[in-house]
Structure 1
Amino acid sequence: MSRLTHVISGPYAPPAARRELVAASADGSRLHVEVHGEEDAPAVVLAHGWTCSTAFWAAQIRELATDHRVIAYDQRGHGRSPAARAHSTTALADDLVAVLGAALAPGERAVLAGHSMGGMTIMAAAGRPEFAEHTAAALLCSTGSSGLVAQALVVPLRAGRARTRITGAVLGSRAPLGPVTPIARTVLKYATMGPGSAPDRVEACARIVHACPSAVRHAWSEVLAGLDLDANLAALTVPTAVIGGTSDRLTPVAHARALAAALPHCVGLTELTGMGHMTPIEAPEAVTGAVRELTARYLDTTQKEKTP
């Protein structure tokens, strides 16, 4: 019945940051940012999804920080970033470019990885000059650009208006999730994870999701319900890899396939058999490996020496 915001031991316990900073977004919202690893290492920026926090990336941070500088931040209202009045894809893009400006040197580029709403954040920011300045490549993980509620499979009904309406009501509920209980774990696993997810992975996800304030969860659910970033994909011209789980009920793998087909420079689509929506925790090696491949192929590790 604990209300811990994340697990405190094992591979999914968030490691301590080397340093922390605060990034100020365009509307004054303040974002908690963590930096892990050596300052002169190639940079990776991680953007988490709806109802999550930097703790969601614990496995990636621990592994990548051995030879990368890993920058992770809490989306507004999540984790240690205070709640804000504005909730929109424009705000998500504003927040990302603020983090890039605060954590990276002028002209320095990083590989960006976004899970779920974090992937939508990357799509929303595509085309911004700050994004072009700081992005070498991107990873879109378990995400989609539109039609989220209509295509979600959380409610076991035939596709149509009734399922869409009920799904929207479930995802947008204002009810607090309460403490993590056996029933809560079962529900969360069904809705967001693959059927074979191990108990420690379910526990890690449950702690993080249940820590998200209900008002924040509801506010962002409304943004996701009306999401339409299809037009933004043309502006996402950096090399971009896509990952999706074949058992994802929140953003079914059809979204990943559609992204891969629409992106101007897609460098790979990986479909993780049996995995659900929480792929960075369900399949940490695959997600970390995808980030590593992008940094090896597209990130110029000498760029900081070249920056005036």
Structure 2
Amino acid sequence: MSRRPAHVTSGPYAPPVPRTTLTVTSADGARLYAEIHGPEHAPAVVLAHGWTCSTAFWAPVVRDLAADHKVVVYDQRGHGRSPAPGPAGHSTHALADDLVAVLEAALEPGERAVVGGHSMGGMTIMAAAERPQLRERAAAALLCSTGSADLPAESRVFALRSPQGRRLAHRLMLRSRAPLGPVSPLAKRALKYATMGAGSTAEQIEACARIVHACPAGVRARWGNVLAGLELTGGVSKLEMPTAVIAGTADRLTPLVHARRMASVLPDCRGLTELPGLGHMTPIEDPGAVSGRLRALVQDHLRVPGTDAAAAPAEAPGGKRQKKEKTA
């Protein structure tokens, strides 16, 4: 019996066809699959996906932005179409290497971008905070549904009363090598509970389940082990570019406490957007809110090549408005 594709193939959550693809070589020789969407000379946005996901996770955000932005997405090492590295190749240092390699390969000389990261992708940006290449190439950043430290202690997938028990249960979940199996109704219910808000649609759940279940168990466990010991608080405090934060209020994997903590220590926080009732998968649960924040960062902070002006404002077509915004 043939396996189902690693993502949905029709509808708003199906990945659009890229304008071009790239193979990017990172500092340790790791090869990364990358895509470029949208007009060649438009303002650039570079997006890094999260744990167990792939470029396909950004599909509805890319569909929105690519109408008038150059959008770069890439598969984190071991995910999607990027081969898995050896055991030594799993670290936040490696994630930072990969991001700056993508920026150098996908952007033209002197070109800058707004960078956005979801979950582990946000952690990637934090890990690269002190890299000269990031400071030169990134005009602003969006940290989406992510955290900088203490993930096992703060997660709420397992609602245990004991802090020690909760920490242990989440550490075991992150490090688990158990296969997820087929995308069954039971598997989708479990995924929705752990990662999505109560109002997520069947289409959204199917899209997320296809992507997450396609991630190899070994890759999931090795990166989960990195996340279990994550400590990037220093990276947040050194992310000196204009940075916005967005998170769902019903996120069990990286609860709102993380977003509020990051907003309080970022040197140049440009607002915390809280999305009521949404879970961890915000770029699929409300792509209009995510693309809207990225558009605002482009408009406010990104200079278009060959001009002295910031990018012209653009409305997100069909996108939802931000639900609630707090400025830190």
Into which bin does the TM-score normalised by the smaller protein fall? over 0.9
Structure 1 CA distance for aligned equivalents of residues 53 and 307 of structure 2: 31
Mean alpha-carbon deviation: is it higher for 228-237 or for 271-280? 228-237
Q: 2:104 aligns with which of 90, 93, 101?
A: 101
Structure 2 CA distance for aligned equivalents of residues 143 and 297 of structure 1: 23
Partner of 1:280: 283
Residue type of the alignment partner of 2:299: A
Partner of 2:40: 39
Specify the SS of the correspondent of 2:36: strand
Q: 2:126 aligns with which of 112, 117, 123?
A: 123
Partner of 1:72: 73
Deviation at 1:208, TM superposition (A): 0.3
Residue type of the alignment partner of 1:131: L
What count of residue pairs does the alignment treat as equivalent? 306
- C-alpha distance after superposition, 1:221-253 (max 9, x if no partner): 000000000011222010000001100000000
Mean alpha-carbon deviation: is it higher for 105-114 or for 220-229? 105-114
Deviation at 1:170, TM superposition (A): 1.9
Structure 2 CA distance for aligned equivalents of residues 302 and 125 of structure 1: 24
- 1:151 and 1:159 in contact (8 A); partners too: no
Deviation at 1:107, TM superposition (A): 2.2
Deviation at 1:201, TM superposition (A): 0.3
- 2:111 and 2:305 in contact (8 A); partners too: no
Q: 1:237 aligns with which of 232, 237, 240?
A: 240
Deviation at 1:73, TM superposition (A): 0.2
Partner of 2:154: 151
Structure 2 matches for 1:8-19, cutoff 5 A?
Answer: 8-19=9-20
Residue type of the alignment partner of 2:61: Q
User: 1:271/1:92 Cα in 2 relative to 1: closer, same or farther (>3 Å)?
Assistant: same
Partner of 2:325: none
- 2:77 and 2:83 in contact (8 A); partners too: yes
Specify the SS of the correspondent of 1:203: helix
Partner of 2:58: 57
Structure 2 matches for 1:169-184, cutoff 5 A?
Answer: 169-184=172-187
Higher RCO structure, 1 or 2 (CA under 8 Å, sep 6+): 1
- 1:108 and 1:133 in contact (8 A); partners too: no
- 2:22 and 2:33 in contact (8 A); partners too: yes
- 2:61 and 2:287 in contact (8 A); partners too: yes
Residue type of the alignment partner of 1:10: G
Deviation at 1:106, TM superposition (A): 2.4
Partner of 1:196: 199
Q: 1:160 aligns with which of 160, 163, 175?
A: 163
Residue type of the alignment partner of 1:75: Q
Structure 1 CA distance for aligned equivalents of residues 4 and 11 of structure 2: 18
- C-alpha distance after superposition, 1:174-232 (max 9, x if no partner): 01111100000000000000111111000000000000000000000000000000011
Deviation at 1:159, TM superposition (A): 4.4
Residue type of the alignment partner of 1:21: L
Structure 2 CA distance for aligned equivalents of residues 170 and 34 of structure 1: 31
Specify the SS of the correspondent of 1:114: strand
User: 1:168/1:304 Cα in 2 relative to 1: closer, same or farther (>3 Å)?
Assistant: farther
Structure 2 CA distance for aligned equivalents of residues 177 and 152 of structure 1: 20
Deviation at 1:3, TM superposition (A): 3.0
Specify the SS of the correspondent of 1:275: coil
Specify the SS of the correspondent of 2:290: helix
Structure 1 CA distance for aligned equivalents of residues 254 and 173 of structure 2: 15
Deviation at 1:138, TM superposition (A): 0.2
Partner of 1:92: 95
User: 1:242/1:159 Cα in 2 relative to 1: closer, same or farther (>3 Å)?
Assistant: farther
Deviation at 1:303, TM superposition (A): 4.7
User: 1:76/1:183 Cα in 2 relative to 1: closer, same or farther (>3 Å)?
Assistant: same
Specify the SS of the correspondent of 1:44: strand
Mean alpha-carbon deviation: is it higher for 165-174 or for 127-136? 165-174
Specify the SS of the correspondent of 2:50: coil
- 2:174 and 2:227 in contact (8 A); partners too: no
Structure 2 CA distance for aligned equivalents of residues 270 and 221 of structure 1: 26
Specify the SS of the correspondent of 2:140: strand
Partner of 1:206: 209
User: 1:26/1:276 Cα in 2 relative to 1: closer, same or farther (>3 Å)?
Assistant: same
Q: TM-score, normalised by structure 1?
A: 0.97
Partner of 1:20: 21
